[in-house]
Amino acid sequence: MAKKRVHELAKELNIDNKELINKLTSMGINVKSHMSALEDNDVQKIMKEYGKKINQPKVDKGDTTNIGKPNEQNRGQVMEGKKEKDQFFKPDNSKGPGLVDRVPNRPPDRRYEDKPKSSQRPHQEARGPKPAPVHKENAAASNNVGTAQTSVQNNQGGARPPRNNAHGRPYGDRQGGQGKPANVNRQGAAQGRPGDRQSGQGQGKPPYGERQGGQNRPGDRQGGQVGQQGKPAYGDRQSGQGRAPYGDRQGGQGRAAQGGRGGTRSTAPVIPKPPEQIAQPKPTKAPDKTKGDRRKNYEKDGKWADGQIEKSKLNKHRQGKNKKKAETPAPAPVIVDKRPIQVGETITVQELAEKLKKTAAEVIKKLLGLGILATINQEVDFDTATLIASEFGIETELKVAVDKEAMIMAEPEDDPAQMVIRPPVVTIMGHVDHGKTSLLDAIRETNVTAGEAGGITQHIGAYQVEHNGKKITFVDTPGHAAFTAMRARGAKITDIAILVVAADDGVMPQTVEAINHAKAADVPIIVAINKIDKPTANPEKVKQELTHHDLVVEDWGGDVIAVPVSAKARIGLENLLEMILLVAEVHELKANPNRPARGTVIEAELDKGRGPVATVLVQNGTLHVGDTIVAGHVMGRVRAMIDDKGRRVKKALPSTPVEILGLSDVPEAGDIMVAVEDEKLAREVAEKRKQRKKEEALKASAKISLDDLFKHIQEGQIKELPIIVKADVQGSIEALAQALEKLSTDEVKVNLIHSGVGAINETDIMLASASNAIVIGFNVRPDVNARKLAETEKIDINLYRVIYEVIDDVKKAMSGLLDPEFKEVVIGHVEVRKTFKASKIGTIAGCYVTEGKITRDAGVRVIRDGIVIHEGKLDSLKRFKDDAKEVAQGYECGIALERYNDIQEGDIIEAFIIETVKRELK
């Protein structure tokens, strides 16, 4: 059984959440919020507790209110516009003034306590069944009402003692609801309960009261009015109610009640008729027809069926009303919208208010009642929205947005029977000059040209070779940077990475980068130890070095395949292809050619003669000429396809790279391409993406940074914190790596995905972007390209000179305590072109400002080969012989540093200032 939540219980008890929470706390039951679930025994305890407390105060209240004030007064208040007070507190009002007056001694009315519920349909059931006890009570208690009362009580649910004034209330409530146009919706919601009302009708008005539950108050007041007025024409009343079935019912009830009353009436002037009068002033009278229809509906629903109201009486009444109505101008019928409102996973307060046909202020007030402080633009989740809607007597439905984009991007599970082996897609990576291009060329030349017309191959970004009757697709853009750039765009096209390591050079920084990039993408690696033709080649050394990076080759007992090759001498190429096929086989690379194509754009350009041209790697399905496709924000129909050998083809199977013509625009490398059967849908999705792209360009979203790390952790968005560390020496990296990994908590695991000695470069940033990693530089700086890329990719580069500070910052960031008051801003870079020694001053650097500017009071850092070798202050800054306050980009200057003379030609002097950062409260 589902546990009861605090707000549900509060609603049941008809008290506000806060009060209940306080009560629970005082009883030693710990709850965090209104959404907290309660144990059954706790619920029982509190019920017990409130069984007494709540009732009493309420009764008192009700009595006081009602008794003290004549119905009119109540009415008056209502009319003055209290209308939509917090339902939490209203219940008393809703009891209906008239009723109370008449029966001062009546016991607490549970009905009202249950009101919130009553706004929900389930109530109906509750009410129906317990008429018997009521009768008794009525007989005893109510002089006035007679039968009418009885039924009311019944509705209320047996437990309640009879109310004499039942008439008064119900009407009032109801009318209130009707009275306000705004209430229409609620009424709709309330309609669910017609049963209640009906029973009320049988008795007279009472039902109304019940029904309205939440709406009650306004109604109550009206009820009061009615009472005063005596029985105005039913027609009027109805018109007042105009909108809905309620009106009808009321009419019906009114009569019934009257019938029942007979003599009673005199006692209670309040009772039935008032609604009509109230209605009169209001222009919105429901035409008779409407009423008739509504009633029919009720009858259909069976809600009236159990109402003991004599239908014949009702009908008579109705007729009477109709006549009257015919005389009076028919107001526009108010349509009651019974449908639940559609709410998505989240909805803004504003939107919710609109859907509820309430003002945002009303919704915000309700939220406050739940202890939620929200602004108009703030989003609330579906559960909260449901809660709020129920406060207004409206139901919600979870709207599962039909996401057209998701529709076209959905990858239906392929029937295993349809799956066939597809060629592996291979990317070549490695350090500069280790022979990536040579290897690609060698493979292409040896394996592609044979048998091809003229041996001419088309450069389309990828090509296929055949080995032992099996195809292999090579992505023709060597380098892990390109690979990661593609991955950063969400595209995963590579099945196998070939890591080229020159046998005469060994594992170099970019080899390590490539390893880490491939690992981060979870792609199997085959090592091609190249240049083995060279006399200085030392493949064993390469294998040994690889073990430092967790790549243990088979010879050394590991599982990494290493193939000695020579791109130049064409040695080992067959073996390499063999191994590629082997790995492919192990990984069972399969695709279903019998479905619409799906692939990735490898490159794209605008060709003068041919228009937008895109090279696409088909990854699943088959792409045909004539297919409608969407690639990123571009759609089109494939007009022509050209394969990697320059031949026009009609179809492209999985793992085939093809150039396609016919797109409306140039897509981007990395865009996912899908063939879509519905052209209109394709157009819509492309349009939507184009729009979104524009919006995104406007508010380029920042990647994760130390500053917002805690927020992401709290929101559960990150479970792992990938970190890239670049440092001046290997020792620092090791120290940092150890210390950082120790910071892992249960919530977040710190994962050092890449580290290296030297300046922070472009590929580091690219990797950070692809892996949403944090970049830490220890005694190193980002190079120009890295800085630019970091800016565009919104990657935060964190630079330090003290290990303790790195650890401290990450730790603080993870716990939300990071509070850097200062931020360093680099204002310029100066290149040292010449150095002079001056006996008194020391070394003077003849410099050129390459970027930004340098100011006399700026902090400076001397950077040599990307590594910070000194940080300090300027001793002097001169333009020719004059002291200068600042020197801008493109100008020369003379610089002497304070207590530092080891400046060399080629050094870069970075000028920076420290800005105070005003931290925002989170």
Ligand X SMILES: Nc1nc2c(ncn2[C@@H]2O[C@H](COP(=O)(O)OP(=O)(O)OP(=O)(O)O)[C@@H](O)[C@H]2O)c(=O)[nH]1
Residues in contact with ligand X, shown as a per-residue x/- string from 373 to 412 under the rule CB under 6 A: ----------------------------------------
843 assigned binding-site residue: no
Contact between 852 and ligand X per CB under 6 A: no
- Annotation-wise, does 480 bind a ligand? yes
Distances (CA, A) of 797 to 198, 617, 788: 70, 34, 11
Which 473-492 residues touch ligand X, going by CB under 6 A?
478
Among 123, 180, 237, 434, binds ligand X (CB under 6 A): 434
Report the residue number, 462 or 847, with the smaller CB distance to ligand X: 462
* Binds ligand X (CB under 6 A): choice among 335, 432, 456, 888: 432
| Site for ligand X contains 157 (CB under 6 A) | no
C-beta neighbour count of 61 within 10 angstroms: 18
Contact 104, 174 (CB under 8 A): no
Tell me if 147 is assigned to a ligand binding site. Answer: no
Looking at the DSSP bridge assignments, the partners of residue 500 are 430, 528
Per CB under 6 A, does 273 bind ligand X?
no
The two three-digit tokens of residue 658, written as one number = 């093809």
- Per DSSP bridges, beta strands 886-888 and 892-897 are unpaired
The token duo for 705 is 């940074």
Residues 787-826 that bind ligand X (CB under 6 A): none
Angle of helix 194-203 relative to helix 245-261, nearest 10 degrees?
A: 20
In the complex, residue closest to ligand X by CB: 435
Neighbours of 147 (CB within 10 A): 24
| Residues 854 and 828 sit within 8 Å (Cβ to Cβ) | yes
- CB 472 to ligand X: min, Å: 19
Q: How far is the CB of 425 from ligand X (least distance, A)?
A: 19
CB closer to ligand X, 519 vs 570: 570
For the bound state, the minimum distance from the C-beta of residue 760 to ligand X, rounded and expressed in Å, comes to 19
Output 433 or 808, the one with its CB closest to ligand X.
433
Alpha-carbon gap, residue 172 to 220, rounded angstroms? 3
The first and second tokens of residue 7, run together, are 């707000």
For residues 231, 236, 238 and 239, what is the CA-based torsion angle, rounded to 10 degrees?
Answer: -160
- Known binding residue 435? Answer is yes
- Give the helix/strand (H/E) hosting 888: strand 886-888
| Residue 522 marked in a binding site | no
Q: In the complex, what is the shortest distance from the CB of residue 430 to ligand X, in angstroms, rounded to a whole number?
A: 6
Residue (of 11, 247, 204) closest to 96 by Cα position: 204
611-620/656-663 β-pairing: antiparallel
Shortest separation between residue 478's beta carbon and ligand X, angstroms: 6
Q: In Å, what is the CA distance from 403 to each residue of 108, 149, 397, 685?
A: 51, 53, 17, 9
- Give residues with Cβ within 8 angstroms of 243, minimum separation 6: 178, 181, 184, 187, 284, 286, 333, 334, 335, 336
Is residue 438 near ligand X by the rule CB under 6 A?
yes
What beta strand segments (E) does 685-763 contain? Answer: 720-727, 749-757
Residue 606 buriedness (CB in 10 A; 0-12 / 13-18 / 19+): exposed
Is residue 357 a known part of a binding site?
no
Of 122, 96, 126, 128, residue with least CA distance to 109: 96
CA neighbours closer than 13 Å in the CB half-sphere of residue 586: 11
Binding of residue 534 to ligand X (CB under 6 A): yes
Token pair listed for 313: 């009486």
* Cβ nearer to ligand X, comparing 106 with 434: 434
Q: Which is nearer to ligand X, 501 or 806 (CB)?
A: 501
Minimum CB distance to ligand X smaller for 434 or for 633: 434
Q: Which of 324, 436, 517, 543 binds ligand X (CB under 6 A)?
A: 436
367 token code pair: 């939220």
- We find the least distance from the C-beta atom of residue 436 to ligand X, in angstroms, to be 4
**Could you tell me the smallest distance in angstroms from the CB atom of residue 465 to ligand X?**
17
* 705 part of the interface to ligand X, by CB under 6 A: no
User: How many residues sit in the footprint of ligand X (CB under 6 A)?
Assistant: 16
The answer to whether 459 is a known ligand-binding residue is no
Minimal distance, residue 479 CB to ligand X, in Å: 6
Torsion of CA 605, 609, 615, 620, to 10 degrees: 130
Please state the closest distance from residue 438 (CB atom) to ligand X, in A: 3
66 binding ligand X? (CB under 6 A) = no
Q: Please give the structure tokens belonging to residue 45.
A: 């305890």
Q: How far is the CB of 572 from ligand X (least distance, A)?
A: 9
Question: Per DSSP, which regions of 716-841 are E strands?
Answer: 720-727, 749-757, 774-778, 797-800, 822-838
799 by Cβ neighbours in 10 Å (0-12 / 13-18 / 19+) ranks as buried
476 is in an annotated binding site: yes
Q: Report the residue number, 7 or 434, with the smaller CB distance to ligand X.
A: 434
DSSP assignments along 163-177, one per residue: -GGGGHHHHHHHHHH
CB of 504 to ligand X, least distance (A): 8
Judged by beta carbon, residue 573 or residue 625, the one nearer ligand X is 573
Nearest to ligand X of 540, 857 (CB atom): 540
Cβ–Cβ < 8 Å for 458, 644: yes
Q: Is 433 within any annotated ligand binding site? A: yes
Closest CB to ligand X among residues 463, 912? 463
> Considering beta carbons, is residue 337 or 433 the nearer one to ligand X?
433
51 annotated as ligand-binding: no
Among 19, 433, 665, 892, binds ligand X (CB under 6 A): 433
Continuous segment of H or E residues that includes residue 793:
helix 784-793
In eight-state DSSP terms, residue 653 is -
Cβ–Cβ under 8 Å, residues 79 and 233:
no
Choices 380-388, 460-468, 529-537, 746-754 (CB under 6 A): range interacting with ligand X = 529-537
CB 165 within 8 A of CB 192: no
Rounded CA separation 822/770 (Å): 28
Is residue 866 helix, strand or coil? coil
Shortest approach of ligand X to residue 427 CB, angstroms? 13
CB of 569 to ligand X, least distance (A): 6
Q: Is 533 in the site for ligand X (CB under 6 A)?
A: yes
Query: Is 531 a binder of ligand X (CB under 6 A)?
Result: yes
Tell the smallest beta-carbon distance from residue 661 to ligand X (Å): 30
Q: Which residues contact 888 (CB under 8 A, 6 or more apart)?
A: 849, 852, 853
Select the residue interacting with ligand X from 176, 188, 218, 435 (CB under 6 A).
435
Identified binder of ligand X from the candidate list 73, 328, 350, 437, rule CB under 6 A: 437
- According to CB under 6 A, which one of 447, 530, 628, 771 is a site residue for ligand X? 530
Of the two residues 183 and 566, which places its CB atom closer to ligand X in the complex? 566
Dihedral sign (CA 241, 243, 245, 251): positive
Site string for ligand X, 554-593 (x = CB under 6 A): ------------xxx-------------------------
Q: Which of 174, 120, 194 is nearest to 393 (CA)?
A: 120
CB of 542 to ligand X, least distance (A): 13
Q: Which stretch binds ligand X (CB under 6 A): 431-439, 460-468, 594-602, 792-800?
A: 431-439
Applying CB under 6 A, which part among 284-292, 427-435, 609-617, 874-882 lies near ligand X? 427-435
User: Which span (73-81, 432-440, 704-712, 868-876) binds ligand X, by CB under 6 A?
Assistant: 432-440
**Segment contacting ligand X (CB under 6 A): 273-281, 434-442, 488-496, 809-817?**
434-442
Residue ranges of the binding site: 430-437, 476-480, 530-533
Q: Point out which residues bind ligand X (CB under 6 A).
A: 430, 432-438, 478, 530-531, 533-534, 566-568
Residue ranges of the binding site for GTP: 430-437, 476-480, 530-533
